[in-house]
A and B are shown apart, each in its own frame.
Chain A
Amino acid sequence: MATAAPERTVKAGWWESFYQGLTYRGYEGHWAWIFHRVTGLGVLLFLTLHIVDIFLLTLGPGVFNSLLALYKAPAARILDVFLLFGVLFHAVNGLRIVIIDFWPHATRAHKAIFWAEVAVFLIVFVPSALVLLAPLFGWGGGAQS
C-alpha cells in the first residue's frame, strides 16, 4: 500500500546546502575533492587571464614588455607560488583519481594513497616554491633574471 506523502517538509536551499557541505565532517577524500575543484577552477581562471596577456603581444613589444615587468614584481612571485600550488596539486590529485578509476581495488587503500600523494606533492612543491621566493629573501639571483 502506498503511504500518503508527508504534508510539509523542509529541504535545505542552495546556500544552506553549501554551508552544510563545508560543515560535514569529511576526511581525506572530502578535502582532496574540495581542493581539486577549487584548484581546477583557479587554474581555469588563470588560463583565461593568461590567454588575454599573451594576446597583448599583438599590440607590440612595448605593451608586452611592461606586462613582463609586472610579472617580475616581488608580489607576482607570491602569486606564482599560488599558481604552482594549484597546478601541482590538481595534477598530482588528478593522477590519484585516474589510478582509482582504472584500478578500483585501490579504493581499499584510499587513505594511504592520499598521503602518498601529499608526500609527492610536498617533495616537488617545497623546493620549487623556495626557488620562486628566493629573490624575496635576497638568496642567490633566483632561477632566472
Chain B
Amino acid sequence: MKAHFKIKRFNPEKDREPHWEEYELEVEPTERVLDALQTIKWEQDGTLTLRRSCAHGICGSDAMVINGKNRLACKTLIKDLGSHITVEPLRGLPVIKDLIIDFTDFFAKYRSIKPYFINDEPPPDVERRQSPRQRARFDDTTKCILCGICTTACPVFWADSRYLGPAAIVQAHRFLFDSRDQGAEERLPVLSAHGGVWKCRTVFNCTDACPQGIDVTGAIAEVKKLLLFRKL
C-alpha cells in the first residue's frame, strides 16, 4: 500500500523553527512505523534523524508522537493507523534534531528519586527473602523501560518543568513498595516536595500511552496515599 508520511523536522544548523516535510512510499500494512522511517532515511532523505536501538519494544529509545499520541515507533503497526501518518518529536522536552529530544532533564529527575536498592543491613547468607505476595506488590512498576512516553504525555509536565513526571514516580514506586528496600525516608521528601506527586491531576494520558501497559496513574495514586497515611 501507499503511505503518506508527514514528519516534523528540525536541523539546529539551518533552521530557526521546526517545520513539516512530507514523504510518499510503498509499505506493507504489517510493517511498523519504524520500518517506514528507516526506509525514508535510507532511500529518500538520509538527513532524517531518529533514535532506535533494539527495534523490539524493550530499549525504549524510539518514543515519538505518532498520529497525535505518544508511541514506540517499533511497536506501532501501519495497518493500525491508516495511510496518512504524522510523526513528531515528544513534547515537553527540548528538540535536538528532528525526532531526537534531549533527555537530560528526564534522567536528572529519575536519579533524584534514588532508583536503586537501599538497605544498610548486612546481607544474609542466603538471598533476602520475599513472599510471592510481597513480590507482586510492586510487579507492575518493574516493567518500566524508561522510554519517557508517560512523562512527555502529561499536560502537567508540559506546563511545569519542575514536575518529576510519571516515569520518575513509577520508578520510586518500584522501590517504595519493595519489602526489602529501606530507602523510603530518602525518597519521600523528594516525592512530596513542590514538583512531586501532588502535581498529578489524574489525566491518565500516561496510563493510556505506556507501551508496557503499566497502570501509571494507579502507581502515582499509591504513592500519594502512602504519603497521606504515613505515620509522622
Contact = CB atoms under 8 A, between A and B. Distances in A.
Interface of A: 5-12, 17, 20-21, 23-30, 33, 97, 100-102, 104-105, 107-108, 110
A26 B206 CA distance: 10
Given A17-B159, A21-B155, A24-B69, A104 B102 contact: no
Nearest to A8: B12
B218 A104 contact: yes
6 tightest CB-CB pairs across the interface, nearest first? A29-B204, A25-B68, A9-B94, A107-B218, A104-B221, A11-B94
Nearest to A26: B205
Given A26-B208, A29-B217, A30-B205, 5 more contacts: A10-B10, A10-B12, A27-B205, A101-B202, A110-B217
Given A6-B96, A108-B215, A100 B202 contact: yes
B222 A6 contact: no
Contacts of B93: 11
A27 B208 contact: yes
A28 B208 CA distance: 9
Contacts of B18: 10
Q: Is the interface of B mostly helix, strand, loop or mixed?
A: mixed
**Interface residues of B toward A: which range?**
35 or more
Contact of B204 (A5, A17, A102, A110): A110
Contacts of B138: none
B195 interface: no
B17 interface: yes
Contact of B91 (A6, A7, A24, A104): A24
Interface string B81-125: 000000000011111100000101000000000000000000000
B218 A26 contact: no
Nearest to A36: B201
Contacts of B205: 24, 26-27, 29-30
Given A11-B93, A33-B201, A20 B12 contact: no
Contact of A24 (B96, B102, B153, B202): B153
